[in-house]
Amino acid sequence: MGDRVHIKMCWSRALLTGWVLLLVQLQYLQAVPIGIDKTKVTETEKKPDEPPASVDTGLHYDRYLREVIDFLEKDQHFREKLHNTDMEDIKQGKLAQELDFVSHHVRTKLDELKRQEVNRLRTLIKAKHDLEGGNDIAVDHQALLKQFEHLNHMNPHTFEVEDLDRLIKSATNDLENFDKERHEEFKRYEMMKEHDRQEHLKTLDEEQRKKEEEHYEEMKKKHADHPKVNHPGSQNQLKEVWEEGDGLDPEDFDPKTFFNLHDTNGDGFFDEQELEALFTKELEKIYDPTNEEDDMVEMEEERLRMREHVMNEVDSNKDRLVSLDEFLVATKKKEFLEPDSWETLEQNQAYTDEEMREFEEHLTQQEQDLSQRTVDLQKQREELERQQEQLNAQKVELQQAVEHMERLKSDKVEPPPEVHGNAVPEVHAADNQLHPDQEAHPPGHQEIPQHHQDTPQEHHEQHNPDLPQQGQPQAHHDELSNQQDVAQGQHNLA
């Protein structure tokens, strides 16, 4: 009864932090080898109040997923509902309805997290848009956000029930397909490796090609020559870890003690990373990073195959976790005690001949598309160079026009300077030729232009035509009288 309660508590904790995260395909290249050397085994003390360390899911929205879980965990009501909800109900979105009852503080923080995630996605969209050469085209973020199904893009400001439901379902679906995508990626890797080998052979003469083929076959044979690999998850395989990794007597093997030793985060479950760590000893029989014939990418694929096999055999409720109960049940099965032999990758080619043929055709098409793209880019470059030449020519013409205008401006004749006081103006050669009207005047005589002989009053009147003409008749009469008096005086003298 105590064990059952304890397992229930561990299960609740696992659900709390792993209702999505622990449905994951982990990062295989960082699996930790087993190197425990224990001479005395004791039951490890469980600490259900301390959540297990979270692991990277590999999803592009992993950080957003983690932060949402962390803040939901802080709400007491949501945490209690989570403890009472099974994994199937979580996957179906029933837990998302409880979001309406979480505290205001948590909801406010979730709103902030969603806004940050939307901004992150918009930044990614803009960066991708710029890389594809669309700098001058407006980006419709609202339309492009539809491709991200882990949130409701129509409401970018607040975190609602639909957002939690979408996050759970998207992560569940993405993680379940993660292994399949990894296998496809590995298959492409193997086909590309074979393609490159065949292309290299085409560059060799007959004698060199023969030597290369012999070397290839020798490496394959050397790689296949390794100790027997135990069936993953079998008694023999686990006993070997118990003896060589834990330093314990294989005769004292105890499944429950083994489980507690290798439940490294103490949450009462084997997650995928903890399972993969159990296969390190078997993988070391096949792969050595210092050997030319051993490919470390293939080693990680082999690790993935082993983990998938054990999950299919042991994980009865398909939650991608192995509980203590599931593990103990599996150790009583015939497959655990008398397993079949394990076929390694070299015994199972990753691709078929038909898949290889299609892959070659795809590469050929890619090469043709790349060549066409190269031709198009070259034409664009030539066109840009031509336009640049035109611009340079226009620039030269414009510069010449500016220089011509500057010369015309500098060659323009300036007016003679104004004469002040006794200053004598400069006399040019052309000025020595006198006008016929000037010949009648003796030297030194300066003819005053007619407009300069105006009296001050006449000058004033010319510039002020609108002034009243008051007093003009009297002034004119006085002037005539003066002239007559002068004439009479001259006559009397004569």
Paired tokens of 282: 């078997």
Residue 243 has pLDDT above 60, yes or no: yes
pLDDT for residue 51 is more than 80: no
Under a CB-based contact definition with an 8 Å cutoff, are residues 246 and 38 in contact?
A: yes
Residue 420 is predicted with a pLDDT of: 53
Q: What is the CATH number of domain 204-351?
A: 1.10.238.10
CA distances from 465 to 112, 468, 472 (A): 83, 8, 13
Q: Are 356 and 350 in contact (CB under 8 A)?
A: no
Higher pLDDT, 346 or 28: 346
Structure tokens at 473: 């008749």
3-class DSSP state of 109: helix
If one compares 390 and 429, the residue with the highest pLDDT of the two is 390
**Residue 80 reports pLDDT greater than 50:** yes
Mean pLDDT across 185-198 = 95
Question: Which residues are bridge partners to 370 per DSSP?
Answer: none
The amino acid that residue 236 corresponds to is N
- What pLDDT, on a 0 to 100 scale, did the predictor assign at position 138? 59
User: Which pLDDT does position 328 carry in this prediction?
Assistant: 95
Q: Find residue 270's DSSP bridge partners.
A: 322
Rounded mean pLDDT, 322-333: 94
The token pair that represents 474 in the structure block: 């009297």
Q: How large is the angle between the packed helices 353-411 and 178-202, nearest 10 degrees?
A: 80
What is the dihedral angle through the alpha carbons of 211, 213, 215, 220, rounded to the nearest 10 degrees? -170
pLDDT at 59: 74
- Report how far apart the first and last C-alpha atoms of the chain are (Å, whole number): 166
The answer on pLDDT for 377 being more than 90 is: yes
Region class of 471: left (phi > 0), else alpha (psi between -120 and 50), else beta: left
pLDDT score at 123: 81
Kindly state the tokens that stand for 290: 């210092």
12 burial (CB, 10 Å; 0-12 / 13-18 / 19+) is middle
Give the model's confidence band at 70: pLDDT under 50 very low, under 70 low, under 90 confident, else very high.
Answer: confident
CB 11 within 8 A of CB 86: no
Tens-digit pLDDT profile for residues 298-309: 999 999 999 999
The pLDDT > 90 percentage for the chain reads 39
Whether 203 and 222 have beta carbons less than 8 Å apart is answered as no
Tens digits of per-residue pLDDT, 154-166? 888 888 888 888 8
Per-residue pLDDT at 41:
45
Cα–Cα distance between 111 and 109 in angstroms, integer? 5
Average pLDDT for residues 316-327, to the nearest whole number? 88
- Taking residues 125-131, report their average pLDDT: 72
> How many residues does the structure list for the chain?
494
**pLDDT band at 100, cuts 50/70/90?**
confident
Q: How confident is the model at residue 272 (pLDDT cuts 50, 70, 90)?
A: confident
Choose between 177 and 40: higher pLDDT. 177
Q: Where in the chain is the domain with CATH 1.10.238.10?
A: 204-351
Q: Is the dihedral of CA 417, 419, 422, 427 positive or negative?
A: positive
**What is the pLDDT averaged over residues 223-239?**
94
Q: How far is residue 57's CA from residue 338's CA, in Å, rounded to a whole number?
A: 34
Tell me the C-alpha to C-alpha distance, in Å, between residue 153 and each of 80, 143, 147, 171: 29, 9, 9, 16
pLDDT at residue 142 tops 70: no
Q: Residues near 368 by Cβ (< 8 Å), separated by ≥ 6? A: none
Contact 93, 19 (CB under 8 A): no
| Confidence at 22, pLDDT banded by 50, 70, 90 | very low
Tens-digit pLDDT profile for residues 428-447: 444 444 444 444 444 444 44
Alpha helices per DSSP H over 272-352: 272-277, 280-286, 296-314, 324-330, 334-337
How much is the average pLDDT of 339-361? 91
| Residue 171, pLDDT score | 78
What pLDDT is attached to residue 97? 81
Query: Mean pLDDT score of the chain, rounded to an integer?
Result: 76
**Which of the four pLDDT bands, split at 50, 70 and 90, describes residue 130?**
confident
Determine the pLDDT at residue 290.
Answer: 94
